[in-house]
Amino acid sequence: MAGCGRDRNFKNVKVGYGFVIIFGISMIIFHCYNARRQSYKIPTLSWTLQPSEKEWRELLQMVHNVNVSEKNGSQGENHGSRACQPIKNIFFLKTHKTASSSIMNILFRYGESRNLEFAFPIKIHHFNYSSFFSTLSVFGFPARKRQPYNIMCHHMRFSLPQVEEVMPNNTFYFTILRNPVTLMESSFAYFRESPCFTRARNLETFLSNPSRFCQKDLSNSGYAKNVMTFDLGFNHFGPDFPKNIKLLTQTVDIIFDLVLITEYFDESLVLLKDALCWTLNDVLSFPLNARSDRSRRILSRETQESIKRWNQLDWKLYVYFNNSFWNRVEKFGRERMKKEVEELRKRRAQISKKCLYNQADPNQLNDESLIPYQSGSARVLGYNLKPALKKHEQELCDRLVVPELQYSEYLFTKQLKRATP
């Protein structure tokens, strides 16, 4: 089937796990509620949330006052010559600080518009992170389960055997990785209050002697070292012998049908929509959970090298999957990729012109329900929508900018209502 690339080789996976898995570290309540956040009000759907091609053309036309031809619309969804069925059983490992919130928004919108069944965490916002994922943390599983789950995409520390108990056997697995250098700069700001970071005056101090500040058994040490390796379920303090690195990369390669790269986000979206047999409109998104530039820092070469050393497993993982990502682009066709990325950007620009008034600091957002969760020293930006949008525009625009916690709660409630008529 399209997109469901290859069979997972379970024997290899088990071996990989045996080698490198360690036990979870104790967890502190991290994703606590943001006191300022209001309960979320999304206008209910009357119109299709995910507009049809025709509706999109009309929407874009309103913006530009030009006709977007059929050709450039639906035929932009070039799936080569292959006929394919859109994939709807999806597992997304949501890694930390990798633009994964924007991917989650895409999955939320796709699932909502098609009434797909989400596997929600009991804690609503994450599957008992940073413990290993267990089916016990899935809301209503298995007692209240009405039908197979389609989408699972909340934060977790990955454990394949447990995920497989929940998700159908033809599930498409994917995740996203980011350059560990910028990732570390971001997580230092965002997770400033986690025990590994609190005692360090700044990132440079921390890196001058990281093992003084950060030991494996400190709570949330997963945020401070090899965070992607940790989220993938491996030992983030594991030795970086070539043998381990090979095992790590191969295991991830076998389990995941696709690994996206944050630095090439638009190319990633194109590969994703191709693998899932979706359309460009399905993967349209705005940056969510982005930091204000004021809390961003430029790193010296020396600092960058220290980060790579401290996060060697993540670094090797990233280099490997960056390479396989571009091999995949090569197979897809460079020229075709360039065209589709252009088309995606064009549509994003058009929709943002329609929807967005501005991107702003949390205290400058008019609608309190659109304020994103804030953490550490990072100022997480939100959006103000244009006033006086038409109803169907409002429905779409709202969903494109609503922060993930609010959207998740909304979907959770909606699904619960559906389950108990």
Helix (H, G, I), strand (E, B) or coil at 278: coil
Closest contact distance (angstroms) between CB of 103 and ligand NAG is 19
Closest contact distance (angstroms) between CB of 100 and ligand NAG is 19
Residue 173 phi/psi, 5-degree rounding, is -105, 130
Sign of CA dihedral 315, 316, 319, 321: negative
For ligand NAG, the closer CB: 294 or 331: 331
For ligand NAG, the closer CB: 220 or 406: 220
Crossing angle of the two packed helices 100-113 and 404-419, in degrees rounded to 10: 30
DSSP 302-331: HHHHHHHHHTHHHHHHHHHHHHHHHHHHHH
| CA 156/CA 104 separation, integer angstroms | 13
For ligand NAG, the closer CB: 80 or 148: 148
For ligand NAG, the closer CB: 72 or 394: 72
Closest contact distance (angstroms) between CB of 294 and ligand NAG is 26
- Cβ atoms within 10 Å, residue 341: 18
For ligand NAG, the closer CB: 109 or 126: 126
| CA 240/CA 267 separation, integer angstroms | 30
Helix (H, G, I), strand (E, B) or coil at 196: helix
For ligand NAG, the closer CB: 3 or 24: 24
Locate tokens 């098609």: which residue? 114
Query: Could you tell me where the beta strands, DSSP code E, fall in 187-328?
Result: 258-261
Closest contact distance (angstroms) between CB of 387 and ligand NAG is 26
Q: Which spans of this chain sit near ligand NAG (rule: CB under 6 A)?
A: 24, 26-27, 66-69, 72, 128, 131, 134, 136-137, 169, 179, 319, 322, 326
For ligand NAG, the closer CB: 93 or 261: 261
| CA 355/CA 265 separation, integer angstroms | 21
- Cβ atoms within 10 Å, residue 260: 27
Closest contact distance (angstroms) between CB of 98 and ligand NAG is 14
The 151-152 sheet, strands edge to edge: 151-152, 90-93, 172-177, 258-261
Closest contact distance (angstroms) between CB of 72 and ligand NAG is 4
Sign of CA dihedral 268, 85, 116, 59: positive
Helix (H, G, I), strand (E, B) or coil at 170: coil
Closest contact distance (angstroms) between CB of 326 and ligand NAG is 4
Closest contact distance (angstroms) between CB of 249 and ligand NAG is 14
For ligand NAG, the closer CB: 69 or 205: 69
For residues 163 and 91, is the Cβ–Cβ distance under 8 A? Answer: yes
